[in-house]
Amino acid sequence: MKTLGQFLISHDEEKDLVLLLERIMLSCKEIAVQLREGALAGVLGSTDITNVQGETQKKLDIIANEVLKRNLLDLEMVAGIASEEEDLPVAGNHKGRYLVVFDPLDGSSNIDVNVSVGTIFSILEVQSNQDCSHPDAYLQRGRQQVAAGYVLYGPSATLCLTTGDGVHQFTLSDTGDFLLCQEHMQIPTSTQEFAINMSNQRFWEPETQHYVGDLLKGADGSREKNFNMRWIASMVADVHRVLTRGGIFMYPWDNRDPNKPGKLRLMYEGNPMSFLVEQAGGLSTTCYGDILDIEPKHIHQRVSVALGSKEEINTLMEYHASAR
């Protein structure tokens, strides 16, 4: 079985990119150890700190962020990092080639109940002469990503990675290596499974309500087939299910708070997951257009997300096509 490093080298990836990805995985291993120890390491529970997203930080949000930050800013090829948990990006080596953008711990509401969480990352190339302590340096479209991936800390720790040539899955072995388990993951084109937080139903746009309403009618409605529902509330775990057996995952716009039209973040969640899903033969959309084509305006910008099986995403977009 090939290790991550062996796999990347055999695919002629740039040496610096290989070193960078290996360092991200070293960080994920450190995070996995902390998660496994849980209460024994005293790392469960919340702090009284509110992050820039307006969320109360869990202890593990801070720990995971510090692990990635420390490991990445130490590398020569890293020009800067931006994180869900940092107000502003942090500059690294001014001669570095790469920017790393990450959600250090995704699904942090699941930590204290011992349910799967993850780490999401996106790698961009620095554009000429930019100040990498400034958010503008990171505002690239998702299509410009060099690599993206996530580690799911579940019953096993798995990495799903793309460098633009398919999505490949690795599992963390007890010797500490991420070993290749599956090349070129493919999302089935049709599905009978959806994932959405139904408690927000009344806040969605009418078109989204109509679409989900028809899913719920199943074989008795216009869709003529029954749908199953899952919601783990860790995007990494929900997207991993979609990558593995198909489905549609949605966190659409809602009008709960006019200042926060969506929950998920474009740079840390929307873009890397969309890159992975497209590379596995699926689609991702805001309900109106490709997420990967959005020109970001703010580093912490939020986005409406729907991703997964191609036919289902196309159907969803048809429901919304008349609206705008």
Our finding on whether 311 is near Mn ion (CB under 5 A) is: no
Helix-strand-coil percent breakdown of the chain, rounded to 5? Answer: 40, 25, 35
- By beta-carbon proximity to ligand AHG, the closer residue of 4 and 67 is 67
- Contacts with Mn ion, 35-74, as mask; x by CB under 5 A: --------------------x-------------------
Stretch that binds Mn ion, among 3-11, 13-21, 99-107, 134-142 (CB under 5 A): 99-107
Which of 223, 202, 203, 199 is CA-nearest to residue 211?
Answer: 223
Residue nearest to ligand AHG (CB): 235
Strand order in the sheet with 283-285: 228-229, 193-195, 248-251, 305-308, 283-285
Q: What are phi and psi of 90, to 5 degrees?
A: -120, 130
- By beta-carbon proximity to ligand AHG, the closer residue of 173 and 228 is 228
- By beta-carbon proximity to ligand AHG, the closer residue of 97 and 302 is 302
- Segment holding 271, helix H or strand E: helix 271-279
- By beta-carbon proximity to ligand AHG, the closer residue of 77 and 306 is 306
Among 47, 50, 56, 109, binds ligand AHG (CB under 6 A): 109
Among 27, 57, 71, 108, binds ligand AHG (CB under 6 A): 108
Among 80, 92, 96, 107, binds ligand AHG (CB under 6 A): 107
Residue 203 CA, chain-centre distance (Å), reads 24
- By beta-carbon proximity to Mn ion, the closer residue of 3 and 110 is 110
261, 207 Cβ separation under 8 angstroms: no
Q: What are phi and psi of 126, to 5 degrees?
A: -65, 135
For residue 103, say whether it is annotated as part of any ligand binding site: yes
Our finding on whether 238 is near Mn ion (CB under 5 A) is: no
Among 31, 59, 106, 163, binds Mn ion (CB under 5 A): 106
Residue 31: exposure state from Cβ atoms within 10 A (0-12, 13-18, ≥19): buried
Burial 184-199 (b: 16+ CB within 10 A, else e): ebebbeebbbbbbeee
Among ligand AHG, Mn ion, none, the one that 284 touches (CB under a kind-dependent 5 to 8 A) is none
123, 98 Cβ separation under 8 angstroms: yes
Among 32, 83, 106, 137, binds ligand AHG (CB under 6 A): 106
Our finding on whether 197 is near ligand AHG (CB under 6 A) is: yes
- By beta-carbon proximity to Mn ion, the closer residue of 105 and 291 is 105
- Least Cβ distance, residue 305 to ligand AHG (angstroms): 9
Distances (CA, A) of 214 to 145, 210, 226, 254, 265: 35, 6, 10, 19, 27
Contact residues: Mn ion, CB under 5 A: 55, 84, 103, 105-106
Binding-site residues, in ranges, read 84, 103, 105-109, 197, 263, 269
